[in-house]
Amino acid sequence: MIRKPAVAGMFYPSSPKGLEGEVKGLVDDNVQRMRAIGLVSPHAGLMYSGAVAGAVYSRITSPHTFIIISPNHTGLGARASLMTSGEWQIPTGKVSIDETLAMKLLANSEEIEEDTHAHLMEHSIEVQLPFICHFFPDAKIAPLTLMSESVEACRRLGIAVADAVRNSDYPVTIAASSDMTHYEEDRVARKKDKAAIERIIALDPKGLYQAVKEQEISMCGFIPVTVMLYAALELGAKEASLVKYMTSGDVSGDYGHVVGYAGVIVK
């Protein structure tokens, strides 16, 4: 299956020249790069969250494959939906699915289902691809979209992801796609996001899950981030660092109703 762009012209420019020009303005080619086990990157329109995503992808070395774990905003498809073959197209290129790794994921977990419907209109994986195509044009992806899960299900999924990575003979980075607090005052959003980011930096997936639930943090991708953290711990992660944080108010000037964006690298 060829997955066509769903949000080109809305979340990012629809022309190759326009998209590449915007991405070049959001990345930094002069920073030190590191091998990342996992990362957190936002998925709003590039004009709002692209500076955070660009800062993250600028700082990692090229893996063979990204397992991109995203939230399901549309409600379509399976609860844990994995595309196992085909390619994703955006104006600046195409990214092939790593069929070998995808089949390992499918075999490792009873929760994960082979499904395309959840991916057809979901933007949160697609918005990662302009940066992947810019820096890592030969990289492949394994796209996994998740609905709400229990913390125990997140742990099981994390172990399944880690086993697939461990049994691959090439480098794999697990990218969790998430925005942070949605549509609250900037000062409130920053306070809530700080509580969530502290748990991510502490490599504490259960603590993140509990903080989001208990403090009513409207972090849309906390399930993918929780899964990524469980997987990273299984793979020997030792530390995580916040690369960049901002809110939409820093772009729009409207600090009354913002969305927060955090970029994190786990190594």
The position carrying tokens 């959003």 is: 189
Q: DSSP per residue over 65-121, as a string?
A: EEEEEEE-SS--S-SEEE--SSEEEETTEEEEB-HHHHHHHHHH-SS-EE-SGGGSS
Q: Can you state the angle between helices 151-166 and 222-234, rounded to 10 degrees?
A: 50
Contact 223, 71 (CB under 8 A): yes
237, amino acid identity: A
Task: Show the CA angle centred on residue 204, arms to residues 198 and 206, nearest 5°.
Answer: 115
Helix (H/G/I), strand (E/B), else coil: 261: strand
pLDDT of residue 10: 97
For residue 87, what are its two tokens?
Answer: 């390619």
Print pLDDT tens along the chain (267 aa). Answer: 999 999 999 999 999 999 999 999 999 999 999 999 999 999 999 999 999 999 999 999 999 999 999 999 999 999 999 999 999 999 999 999 999 999 999 999 999 999 999 999 999 999 999 999 999 999 999 999 999 999 999 999 999 999 999 999 999 999 999 999 999 999 999 999 999 999 999 999 999 999 999 999 999 999 999 999 999 999 999 999 999 999 999 999 999 999 999 999 999
CATH numbers and ranges of domains, the chain: 2-266 (3.40.830.10)
pLDDT of residue 141: 98
| Residue closest to 119 by CA, chosen among 15, 5, 218, 220 | 5
Q: How far is CA 44 from CA 4, 48, 50, 170, in A?
A: 18, 6, 8, 30
Contact 118, 72 (CB under 8 A): yes
Buried residues in 11-20 as b, exposed as e (16+ CB within 10 A):
bbbeeeeebb
